[in-house]
Structure 1
Amino acid sequence: MKQRIKALVEINDNNGSRVFAVCIQILILISIVTFTLETILDLEPETRKILRGIETFTVLVFTLEYLLRIYVANKKLKFVFSFFGIIDLLAILPFYLAFGVDLRSLRALRFLRLFRIFKLVRYNRAMNHFTAAIKSAKEEILLFLFITLILIYFSAVGIYYFENAAQPEHFASIFDSLWWAIVTLTTVGYGDVYPITVGGKVFTFFILLIGLGIVAIPTGIISSALTKSVEPDSE
């Protein structure tokens, strides 16, 4: 019986597994739609009751799926604390936390229901390739993030010394300058804080050039890793 359930709930090439996967994906989409509809203020009470019924049904199915996956897992604790295990738990947790508790105090937890959309990743081959690519390039990505943090701090220090005297209200400290550094290095450029001194403008020019490179580097790393991840399937 355990092997039959395992063949059903885990992704396999048999028809039962495919039907199960499609049904779960449909329920995920339905639950996301109901979650979106519930935010409409002027819904009729009957409509809200129907949406609540759909919510209850989908959560019960997701709970059963979660328990079955724990049951068939060879290493149960490893599954519970895995990425998909945590996502599956977060998808159903807000529903059960609401029992016997003032819902207003748990309103902030309702956003956790959005984690159900991540359950779709399990059934998407392209997303699985992307996940594999991220794992294979994690050292390069971590190194890139570390270098980026150093550049952000360097930029904040530089612009502070150039602009502090001219704009003490915007660049009062290095901490205040971090916002400008992040916005500039990511090439967003909101325009709420900008340099007015000659030195600050020249410094910003070079930071913008570095920012263009920062945007391009992770794209190259991930695309290269993604190509390697897809190659075995194409063979």
Structure 2
Amino acid sequence: MPDTMQLRDGQRFGRPETGWRLRLYTIIFEADTREGRLFDIVLLGFIVASVAVVIADSIESVHARFKTLFTVLEWIFTAAFTTEYIARLVCVRRPLRYARSFYGVIDLLAVLPTYFAILVPGMSALIDVRVLRLLRVFRIFKLAEYVDEFGALGQALYSSRRKILVFMMFVMLVVMVM
């Protein structure tokens, strides 16, 4: 049985058969069409611009000077990413499967911090989680196959955790002695 990450989105989430949902699905999920490539380029531009705003906003002097602009831009990005997330849910036949997938969770985490910061004022520190929007680049560049390799690397590190801990402790002892 093939791994779910290797299955095409159409098989996992349910490609619509006809109508406007199929057209929307083709634009959003299939980058081999002209509209799909344009969608991916615009999405990539929004992701990069959004992350640039998050980084610039984290610098206190820049934040003080451009706070209003950053707030407006953040709401524009949040509205765009929310619209895209809803469009992805609407155009697939199994929206819950998409919402629980790796990219569905990343898409949701890309918009939730802004809404949480408004609803719960103490959660404004969570707003830096917006940098997770950068993970969406994996979808655009078709890097999903590397997610499996990342999992294998994580499993190898976990299996070797005792050896790594002994090595790190040895290095710390050497540093302390020197």
TM-score, normalised relative to structure 1? 0.59
The alpha-carbon distance between structure 1 residues 42 and 192, as it changes in their structure 2 partners (threshold 3 A), is farther
Alignment RMSD (CA, Å):
2.7
Deviation at 1:134, TM superposition (A): 4.5
The list of structure 1 runs, each at least 4 consecutive aligned residues, that deviate by more than 6 angstroms after superposition, is none
Aligned to 1:88: 107
Aligned to 2:146: 130
Give 1:72's match in structure 2, choosing from 73, 87, 91.
91
Residues 83-138 of structure 1: CA deviation (Å, up to 9, x unaligned): 10110011100111122432xx213312211111101110113x234225446xx4
Aligned to 1:183: 168
1:155-194 → structure 2 map (5 Å cutoff): 181=166, 183-184=168-169, 189-190=171-172
| Corresponding letter in the other structure for 2:116 | L
Aligned to 1:2: 21
| Corresponding letter in the other structure for 1:92 | V
Identity of aligned residues (%): 23
Aligned to 2:134: 117
Contact 1:66 1:88 in 2 (8 A): yes
Deviation at 1:46, TM superposition (A): 5.9
| Corresponding letter in the other structure for 2:163 | L
Aligned to 2:40: 21
Q: Give distance in 2, aligned partners of 1:44 and 1:83.
A: 32
1:62 has 2:47 as partner: no
Give 2:160's match in structure 1, choosing from 148, 161, 167.
148
Q: Give distance in 1, aligned partners of 2:149 and 2:104.
A: 20
1:108 has 2:125 as partner: yes
Give the SS at the match of 1:74: coil
Give the SS at the match of 1:99: helix
Q: Give distance in 2, aligned partners of 1:141 and 1:57.
A: 36
Give the SS at the match of 2:160: helix
Give the SS at the match of 2:144: helix
Residues 137-169 of structure 1: CA deviation (Å, up to 9, x unaligned): x4x863x345413435xxxxxxxxxxxxxxxxx
Give the SS at the match of 2:61: coil
1:38 has 2:57 as partner: yes
> How many pairs were matched up?
159
Deviation at 1:75, TM superposition (A): 1.9
Q: Give distance in 2, aligned partners of 1:38 and 1:8.
A: 32
Q: Give distance in 2, aligned partners of 1:117 and 1:52.
A: 19
Contact 1:11 1:21 in 2 (8 A): no
Contact 2:31 2:40 in 1 (8 A): no
Contact 2:117 2:124 in 1 (8 A): no
